[in-house]
Structure 1
Amino acid sequence: MTKLCECGCGEPAPISKNNWKARGYVAGQPMRFVAGHQNRNRTWSNEHRIKFTASMTGHDVSESTRAKISQAHKIKGIRPPSDAKSMLGRSRELSPTWKGGISYTNGRKCIYKPNHPRAHTNGYVYEHILIAEEMLGRPLAVGEVVHHIDGDIKNNEQQNLHVFKSQAEHLKHHKDAGDIV
């Protein structure tokens, strides 16, 4: 017995392996939707959206619950939006979590320079790029790669940095050095 997904996609609905009375599924019979299609084409009326939003605002949350939510967000890599309540009306510098425009990404030190051409979406640039540009007296050209001579990505001293014209040249250096087989 074949039945199509009720979302209108035209895909055949899977066969239920178990009885699920709450959803009306019977083992061996087609289900109503393909997995993930149950919310397609569903729109909320403004009235429903307003009621839902009102029901979710103004709830007091205990400190232990806040800690649990915060820990879960850290594990999942979820960050609060830039307009989060804690930041309303504050600049980055006035935020209690501001660390002077220094952060670490992939073990590399980053400096806050939002207008830099190589800035990440969060406004930070790898420190070794800034130091290499300072050494050269110009911005790095497109394709140029900064190499750490001693292999320590945390050592951003000028004498430890070398700029290659391309990633291919950089890889050739590592092959010649025996770092890559």
Structure 2
Amino acid sequence: MRAWIGTVLRLVVGGVWIVAGAVKLPDPAESVRAVRAYDLLPESIVPTVGHLLPVVEIVVGVLLVLGVFVRLSAVVSALLFAAFIIGIASAWSRGLQIDCGCFGGGGFDPDATAKYPREIARDVALLLASAWLVWRPRTALALGEVLFVRPDEVEVKEIS
């Protein structure tokens, strides 16, 4: 049963990452604006983060959906969600009215304060799902289980 719970979590979290990255990929300038709006990173690295983030999100999502390198992908996923939770909470506490930029967009949003609790709750749920996958990376329908056989699962036959 745990393998199937993990499979559902893997597909949900992976799907969210793929959608989030794919929406941002066509307009990297918008992603850079969203990162800049948080006013947390030094300006010298904002463009790099803004350009790389959608790519990282898609890669993590694809790896999770395929079930390849699940634990590693889930660790990266959990770290990203933790960073996003901190970023949104920081923006909220500083009175910034910005779109989270999670699924494109970014910049000023007059309704941001009302959205922050829901965005944080969503990211906490996805962080917990990622943590489950770090703890229990073996899931059903995972391509990694086919591609990478664990040494303790290889049957050794004696030659007599």
- Same topology, TM > 0.5: no
Give me the TM-score of the superposition, normalised by structure 1: 0.18
Q: Per chain length, whose mean CA-contact separation is higher, i.e. which structure has more relative contact order (CA < 8 Å, sep 6+)?
A: 2
Question: Which structure is higher in strand share?
Answer: 1
